[in-house]
Structures are given as structure tokens and as C-alpha cells.
């Protein structure tokens, strides 16, 4: 696993082929978050900040357990708490660890105009390289889960790296290691799917008929997956999207919007821009293109 980590299979804003010879022959990695085991203790948040040398602001209480209130350049993961009264009249406290899903088909990477600012490793991790980031925020538009955040300090985008530095040396991510109840587990994607299947069976035996795995196809599956008690209603979990897909705007930008919008500065940067046009956009799937077209047609 360790050696694969450094093998990049995709890089933002470039189509120059990446080295292809090596592959993830023993499986890609995945993190499985079993929401049904999670007690919302925030150990993952603390371990994340501690390992990554981040310190968010000491904020305020606004009548919720969610602290900090949102993801930021300093908070790459966050517990989101939702109180839900089920049809039986019993209360459920649905607590979801939010953060980067490490999509197999990453909208952020596709949207990113800066070469090498976002990469995808052979092991499945989608990583930001802030030294290449220009702070445009397109990754946010591209992300169907609303994850990346721009730092107010350095105007660069940040998000969970899945502790690529730990995974690179054969360790599990910090949040996974620390999770007291074993709600966060880590391994090959296949093993995690297997683990999820066992959990789902247990949940069904406890009356959660709709228990299931969240590994959405719209983004090609994810390397961070959830076990949900109510897989039929992901939105119960603080708005987890039911059918996430890459924003039509990504296709739009890559297709028509960008050259039009930038016409005014084309002259001075013509050489570079032509180069960009020549190498073209990243692959977007047909549904994105279709969505983009629909979006364009709607535009007056």
C-alpha cells in the first residue's frame, strides 16, 4: 500500500499522461465511517488537527454540538449532529463525520484550473498540493459534497488528505486510528465493503431495515464511505446528498464559460491559453456534459 501512495494517476489541469506502469494491485484504500457506531465524540476532529498541525478558532456555542461550526482550512473534518424523530416516535441522534469523500471521479480535481494543485494517487486518495493552489475556489464548485475551504490567511484551498503522509508509510489515517468506538475503519476498499456488509446485517437484525452502504455511483464511488441506518434517506444526516454528482458548472467552465469570461486577458496570456486549449480539459463523463448543456440552454 505504502509505495503506491506516491503514484499519481490524475493531476489537475493537465492531460500529460501520468506514469501508468505501476498499479494498486493489492487494492485501493478506503475509509469506512459507520455512522451507527459513532458517538460524536470528536476524537477524529482533534486527532486530525493534532496530526496535521492545525488549530481552528476557539469559537462560540450557537445552540448546537457542531464545533467548529463549519469545515475550514483548519478543520478538515467535522461532526454534524441531527436530531431525528423516527416514525415510531423514538428519538435518534444522527451524527455524521463530514469531510472529503475522496471520490473516484473527483469533481474538485476536474474543476481545478491549476496544474498539479489537485492529484489523485493510485491508492485512491485525492490530495491537494497547496503550493500549486491559486485560491480560485473552483474545487468548491466542483465538489458535490461542499468540502474544500479557502484559507483566509493564504488564500489556498484545504481539505482532508486522508493522511496521505501516514498512508504513504503504511499507517492508517489519524482519525481512523483514534476513533474510540471503531466507527471509522480503514483498509482496502474491498475489505471495507465486506466490513460494511457485516454491519448492515447486524443493523437489519436490530430493526433498521433500510440500513445500507453509502458509496455513491454519481462520483464513481468514494474512498470514504458511510454505513447508514437509513440509507434510503441520506439527507437525514445533516444533508448528505442523496445522489451526488459533479456540478454542471464544472462542465460549463471547462467547455464554454472559461474562454468567454477570460477574453479580456487573452492577449497578454495568449501563448499559455492556447496551450491550455490544446491540451484541453480533463475527461468529464457524458452525464456532466449533458447536464452542462441543459444548464446552458436555461441561460437566457
Length of the chain: 300
Residue 222 CB-density burial (10 A; 0-12 exposed, 13-18 middle, 19+ buried): buried
Closest CB to other proteins among 45 and 284? Answer: 45
Residue 237 CB, nearest distance to other proteins (Å)?
Answer: 13
Parallel, antiparallel or unpaired: strands 29-34 and 224-228: parallel
Nearer to other proteins, 23 or 261 (CB): 261
Binding mask 273-292 for other proteins (x = CB under 8 A): x-xx----------------
22 binds other proteins (CB under 8 A): no
- CB closer to other proteins out of 178 and 222: 178
Nearest one of 162, 165, 128, 169 to 1, comparing CA atoms: 169
Candidates 22-30, 96-104, 134-142, 243-251 — which segment interacts with other proteins by CB under 8 A? 134-142
1 binds other proteins (CB under 8 A): no
- Cα separation, 287 vs 112, in Å, equals 19
**Distance between CA 7 and CA 23 in Å, rounded?**
8
Candidate ranges 101-109, 202-210, 242-250, 282-290; the one touching other proteins (CB under 8 A)? 202-210
CB of 20 to other proteins, least distance (A): 15
As measured in angstroms, the least distance from the Cβ of 217 to other proteins is 28
Omega of the bond leading into 245 within 30 degrees of 0 (cis): no
Comparison of 174 and 236: residue with beta carbon closer to other proteins: 174
Find the binder of other proteins among 161, 222, 282, 284 (CB under 8 A).
161
User: Contacts with other proteins in 230-259 (CB under 8 A)?
Assistant: 258
Which one, of 248, 12, 47, 198, lies nearest residue 118 by Cα?
A: 12
Is 250 within 8 Å of 142 (Cβ atoms)?
Answer: yes
Q: Which of the stretches 19-27, 129-137, 216-224, 241-249 binds other proteins when contact is defined by CB under 8 A?
A: 129-137
The DSSP annotation for 146-175 comes to: ---EE-TTT--EE---TTHHHHTTTPPPHH
Q: Is 68 in the site for other proteins (CB under 8 A)?
A: yes
Amino acid at each position: 500500500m505504502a509505495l503506491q501512495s506516491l503514484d499519481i494517476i490524475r493531476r489537475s489541469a493537465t492531460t500529460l499522461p501520468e506514469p501508468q506502469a505501476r498499479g494498486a494491485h493489492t487494492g485501493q484504500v478506503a475509509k469506512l465511517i459507520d455512522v451507527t457506531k459513532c458517538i460524536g465524540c470528536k476524537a477524529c476532529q482533534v486527532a486530525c488537527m493534532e496530526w496535521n498541525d492545525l488549530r481552528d478558532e476557539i469559537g462560540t456555542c450557537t445552540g448546537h454540538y457542531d464545533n467548529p461550526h463549519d469545515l475550514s482550512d483548519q478543520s478538515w473534518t467535522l461532526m454534524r449532529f441531527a436530531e431525528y424523530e423516527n416514525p415510531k416516535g423514538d428519538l435518534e441522534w444522527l451524527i455524521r463525520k463530514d469531510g472529503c469523500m475522496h471520490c473516484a471521479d473527483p469533481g474538485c480535481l476536474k474543476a481545478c484550473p491549476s496544474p498539479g494543485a489537485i492529484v489523485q494517487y493510485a491508492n485512491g486518495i485525492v490530495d491537494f498540493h497547496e503550493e500549486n493552489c491559486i485560491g480560485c475556489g473552483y474545487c468548491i464548485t466542483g465538489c458535490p459534497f461542499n468540502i474544500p475551504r479557502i484559507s483566509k490567511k493564504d488564500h489556498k484551498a484545504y481539505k482532508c488528505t486522508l493522511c496521505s503522509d501516514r498512508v504513504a508509510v503504511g499507517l492508517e489515517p489519524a482519525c481512523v486510528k483514534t476513533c474510540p468506538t471503531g466507527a471509522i475503519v480503514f483498509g482496502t476498499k474491498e475489505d471495507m465493503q465486506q466490513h460494511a456488509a457485516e454491519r448492515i446485517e447486524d443493523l437489519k437484525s436490530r430493526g433498521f431495515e433500510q440500513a445500507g452502504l453509502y458509496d455513491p455511483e454519481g462520483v464513481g464511488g468514494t474512498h470514504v464511505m458511510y454505513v447508514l441506518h437509513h440509507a434510503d434517506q441520506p439527507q437525514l444526516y445533516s444533508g448528505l446528498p442523496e445522489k451526488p454528482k459533479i456540478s454542471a458548472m464544472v462542465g460549463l467552465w471547462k467547455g464554454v464559460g472559461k474562454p468567454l469570461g477570460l477574453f479580456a486577458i487573452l492577449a497578454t496570456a495568449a501563448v499559455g491559453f492556447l496551450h491550455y486549449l490544446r491540451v484541453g480539459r480533463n475527461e468529464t463523463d457524458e452525464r456532466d456534459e449533458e447536464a452542462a448543456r441543459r444548464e446552458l440552454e436555461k441561460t437566457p
